[in-house]
Structure 1
Amino acid sequence: MTCDILLSGTGSFAARILFDIAATAQRPVKVVIAGRNRERLDWLKVAANARASIFGRPARFESHEIDLLTEGAATTLIEATRPKVTVQAASIQTSSVIAQTGNAWTRLVAEGGLSATAVFQALITKRVAEAITGLSHETALVNCCFPDVVNGMIAALGHEVACGMGNVAILSNVFAGSGAVPDGKRLKVLAHYQNLGAWRRPAASRSGPAPRVWLDEAEIGDVFATFASVKLTPEPVIDISGASGVPMLLAMAQDGGWTGHVPGPGGLPGGYPVSLAGRRLVLDLPKGLSEAEAIAWNGVFEARDGLVAERDGRVRYTGKLHDGLRAHSAELAEGFQMREIEDVCRAMLELRTRLSTTA
């Protein structure tokens, strides 16, 4: 069995991707959904094929039952499906943690930042990337699990990762759809996932670093004022983030062109405007903004508070997250080498379990 797009994961994010492919595909595309929950897989397959029929789209969906946490499963999956595009949306940490409260773990995430969950987000993607590299299979790997940070971790291991979905694309698309962008104007946005928090608050209380936004190559001075009408939900905005990469995935699968915004292209920190040609993404920055400047701007966020993956594979925690981790585990707070991530993940799981039962 070969396919155009392999999607691993059966949660809400994966469902949004599937259902939007089913409703928008213009050319024939075959999608395989992979996961360990047979009942959920069966439903997603039925629902996606039904939606393709409803909208008269040439998309076909199949399923593949597999547990990517078992040894060798990622290699088995890639060998069985031989995808043109691999979309990795399976994680051992749900994104809903950003809206949860009431225990020491959610407090650590709220105060230290989402990079507290980075090793959980990276585990399965790391295994999939290793399988792709080991098989020398040419596929565009799109990691949907915390890509602003995790893609850099995957790249530090020497694996190729095309990009992620959401985050910067959430902001670029809500800005474009807000009415504040005149018809015919080209929008370009530079944004890190840490910029999203301000847009979950009322306009009058927004503060901190804003994303950088250009209209037809002219940078907007006051982004908060220009897009004051835009407000995100406190929960993950899957209806936008899960949809944001669908046109790109279809273009990748069909060797088409596309322009838009993605987080973590090629393992870079944060999100950028990009263009696609032949399944390869390149930065499409505004005139006058160098690649080095754009990367440095995005790199500041995790260097100040979060997690940084160095080129030599060393991962270190910074700022409030480092201090918060140190209060519970001095050893974990010291960071790790990416090759140690399996052991580190087990230690972090133990910490998460302990803190989740502590008020």
Structure 2
Amino acid sequence: MAGCDILISGTGGFAARIAFDIAATADDAVEVIIAGRNRERLNWLRTAANARAALFGKKARFATHAIDLLAPDASDALLAATDPRIVVQAASIQTSQVIAQSGNAWTQLVAEGGLSATAVFQALISARVAAAITARGKPVTLVNCSFPDVVNGIIVALGHAVACGMGNVAILSNVFAGSAATSPGADLKVLAHYQNLAAWRRRPEERGGRAPRVWLDGAEVADVYGRFADIQLTPEPVIEISGASGVPMLLAMAASRPWRGHVPGPNGLPGGYPVRLSDGALELDLPNALAEAEAIAWNASFEKENGLVVSPQGHVSFTGILGDRLAEHVPALRKGFPVRELEAVCEELLQLRSALMQA
């Protein structure tokens, strides 16, 4: 198979949203390969994406590559077969739908302890893909869509590069930009951690806790909940926005064009930031009044209070309520683990998840 501009790893709803929106918006020629195990699903995604490109008169073309992404050496084989310039890693062994599910002890643990309970699961395939890119030695841009606010830090701690993720902060930046409270053309910048999303899934009168930080034309919004009370997210993942949010960036990367917007986990940083793409590299594009160190510390504080933290030395720790809940079941996790033991810890937590889902 010839090389491609963009490789999409995964065939779920998030990957489909990315492919379908590339198909509907690509003004420049772009070759996309979608990879996954389910051949029938692959055939449909290819058919639908090429049909949408024809429907909208766009220049994207789609092909597929069948592979079990969890098989030994699958990431190395996938890169060798597709030779991508950009990898969009959207496959995971943990569905994001867990945030809207209930009825067993696992979903209760996630609801109480937070989504970072799934971070190790989300990191598994992405870390393997990142390692394969490093081993191959060819320049490839990795965009990790699996819980990037936290997982991108794990990838960097393992010694690999990752450009950014999609969604999360970009969900909020785009809904705020589309709000009636924002003037058309206003310069909007948002600093947000994925934990900030939960409030917007509740009714306006029920919202509270730490809000994202928002600047309009350089001035910080004092009452974010009040200013954007018209915004309402769904209880389940808002793929219609999150999956779409990275498409303009991907097309800019493929065409070597500059771009400005918002992404989670740029270059492995915690949380989400305004960024600019220039000469193929992402840099923070913060408001003038906000120092980089302050922005990073603000985002990092969420996981320090409750979640998963990776130290500069590569030690992973679970904190807050999440740390307490996991330690009740796996006491050894109270001390955390070296990031190099990711796969072994993932296996241990998979056993825990299986047991709790039966409880």
TM-score (norm: length of structure 2):
0.99
Contact 1:253 1:279 survives alignment (8 Å) = no
2-structure distance, mates of 1:214, 1:8: 34
Contact 1:82 1:137 survives alignment (8 Å) = no
Contact 2:180 2:230 survives alignment (8 Å) = no
Contact 1:20 1:246 survives alignment (8 Å) = yes
Per the alignment, residue 17 of structure 1 pairs with 18
2-structure distance, mates of 1:37, 1:313: 35
Per the alignment, residue 298 of structure 1 pairs with 299
Contact 1:152 1:309 survives alignment (8 Å) = yes
Per the alignment, residue 191 of structure 1 pairs with 192
Contact 1:99 1:235 survives alignment (8 Å) = yes
SS of 1:128's partner is: helix
1:157-186 CA distance string (max 9 Å, x none) = 110000000000000000101111112210
1:272-331 CA distance string (max 9 Å, x none) = 000001221000000011110000000000000000011211100000000011111101
Per the alignment, residue 334 of structure 2 pairs with 333
1:126-165 equivalences in 2 (<5 Å): 126-165=127-166
1-structure distance, mates of 2:28, 2:185: 26
* Residue 220 in structure 1 maps to residue 221 in structure 2: yes
Per the alignment, residue 321 of structure 1 pairs with 322
1-structure distance, mates of 2:38, 2:184: 44
SS of 1:52's partner is: helix
2-structure distance, mates of 1:331, 1:109: 19
RMSD: 0.7
1:328-353 CA distance string (max 9 Å, x none) = 11013331111111111110000000
Per the alignment, residue 107 of structure 2 pairs with 106
Give 1:254 deviation, angstroms: 1.0
* Larger deviation, residues 165-174 vs 63-72: 63-72
1-structure distance, mates of 2:225, 2:304: 24
SS of 2:4's partner is: coil
SS of 1:234's partner is: coil
Letter of the aligned partner of 1:47 in structure 2? A
Per the alignment, residue 342 of structure 1 pairs with 343
1:69-84 equivalences in 2 (<5 Å): 69-84=70-85
1:165-223 CA distance string (max 9 Å, x none) = 00000000001011111122100000000000000001111110000000111100000
Contact 2:8 2:33 survives alignment (8 Å) = yes
1-structure distance, mates of 2:357, 2:81: 38
1-structure distance, mates of 2:76, 2:55: 35
* Aligned residue pair count: 358
1:87-122 CA distance string (max 9 Å, x none) = 000000000000001111000000000000001000
1-structure distance, mates of 2:313, 2:42: 39
Per the alignment, residue 29 of structure 1 pairs with 30
2-structure distance, mates of 1:334, 1:122: 19
Letter of the aligned partner of 1:354 in structure 2? A
1:241-320 equivalences in 2 (<5 Å): 241-320=242-321
Contact 2:170 2:245 survives alignment (8 Å) = yes
1-structure distance, mates of 2:97, 2:133: 29
1-structure distance, mates of 2:58, 2:76: 31
Which ranges in structure 2 are unaligned for 5 or more consecutive residues?
A: none
Letter of the aligned partner of 2:254 in structure 1? A
Q: Percent identity?
A: 66
2-structure distance, mates of 1:212, 1:162: 23
Per the alignment, residue 235 of structure 1 pairs with 236
Letter of the aligned partner of 2:331 in structure 1? A
Per the alignment, residue 54 of structure 1 pairs with 55
1-structure distance, mates of 2:184, 2:345: 49
2-structure distance, mates of 1:340, 1:225: 44
Letter of the aligned partner of 1:7 in structure 2? I
2-structure distance, mates of 1:41, 1:313: 37
2-structure distance, mates of 1:38, 1:134: 28
Letter of the aligned partner of 1:171 in structure 2? L
* Residue 44 in structure 1 maps to residue 31 in structure 2: no
Letter of the aligned partner of 1:310 in structure 2? S
Per the alignment, residue 170 of structure 2 pairs with 169
Per the alignment, residue 7 of structure 2 pairs with 6
SS of 1:61's partner is: strand
2-structure distance, mates of 1:309, 1:77: 28
Contact 2:158 2:339 survives alignment (8 Å) = yes
